Amino acid sequence: MSLRLNDIAPDFTADTTQGRIRFHEWIGGSWAILFSHPKDFTPVCTTELGYMAKIEPEFAKRNCKLIGLSVDPVESHESWVGDIEETQGYRPSYPMIGDRDLAVAKLYNMLPADEPGTSEGRTPATNATVRTVFLIGPDKRIKLMLTYPMTTGRNFDEILRVLDSVQLTAAHKVATPVNWKPGEDVIIAGSVSDDDAKKLFPEGWQAPKPYLRIVKHPH
């Protein structure tokens, strides 16, 4: 069954580079990003995990934990970390799941479409997890899902931007417009009536159209 936004993120137990975890317990009261990569010791993945290591402090500031995943064993992750640090300048300190039996990959639909579903006829390509990203809230519900092709490295700055938007819109009755960045103007949510908006935003708003009500970034 495919996952949808606002579904409860499936719980699981898995081995990681930081020991065995139960996913929901590991998330605790934090936000979390679960992201998969196709294979250890491959070029695009090396750049991705190095960059995530670089910007992890930004996620930590936002009470968001990171956890990686591929179908490689934990021992492979541990030996690859040195290459990531050597070539990218940053050493991942977040855990990486060794999903050798594909249990989590299947639970989160991380395998490519030509994945046969059994061990018979498997190839390195059908064994690989595509580049997926799940943003999960403290309520354990899925807030964002992204899937990239094998040959395209992700834009993790965008994941950080989305986290800022999701956290802001969870706390205030607003939505963020196209290409929004933190600190920029936002839009009053369509579910808020003008009467309620006057109480929530006493300084008023600009409305080029009745349904497009622009206000300053709430603090």
pLDDT of residue 130: 83
Q: Rounded CA gap, 189 and 176, in Å?
A: 9
The pLDDT score that the predictor gives to residue 44 is 94
Can you tell me the distance from the alpha carbon of 194 to that of 211, in angstroms, rounded to the nearest whole number? 10
Q: Residue 39: which of 90, 87, 105 has the closest Cα? A: 105
> In angstroms, how far is CA 173 from the centroid of its own chain?
23
pLDDT in tens, the chain (219 residues): 589 999 999 999 999 999 999 999 999 999 999 999 999 999 999 999 999 999 999 999 999 999 999 999 999 999 999 999 999 999 999 999 999 999 999 999 988 776 555 445 556 666 678 899 999 999 999 999 999 988 899 999 999 999 999 999 999 999 999 999 999 999 999 999 999 999 999 999 999 999 999 999 887
What's the Cα-to-Cα distance from 5 to each of 109, 166, 170, 203, rounded to whole Å?
Answer: 14, 12, 14, 33
Q: 10 with 19: CB under 8 angstroms?
A: no
Alpha-carbon distance of 157 to 135, in angstroms, equals 14
Active site residue 45: yes
Distance of alpha carbon 144 from alpha carbon 33, whole angstroms: 9
**Catalytic entry in 45, 66, 110, 162:** 45
Q: Taking Cα atoms as reference points, which of 50, 48, 125, 45 lies closest to residue 84?
A: 50
Q: How far apart are CA 216 and CA 218, in angstroms?
A: 6
In the chain, the domains with their CATH numbers are: 13-154 (3.40.30.10), 172-215 (3.30.1020.10)
The owner of tokens 């009467």 is 195
Distance CA 153, CA 149 (A): 8
Q: Would you give the DSSP letter of residue 141?
A: B
* Distances from the Cα of 213 to the Cα of 146, 188, 197, 202, 216, angstroms: 29, 6, 9, 13, 10
Residue 29's pLDDT is 98
Angle at 178 between CA 174 and CA 181, to 5 degrees: 75
Identify which of 208, 200, 204 has the alpha carbon closest to the alpha carbon of residue 173: 200
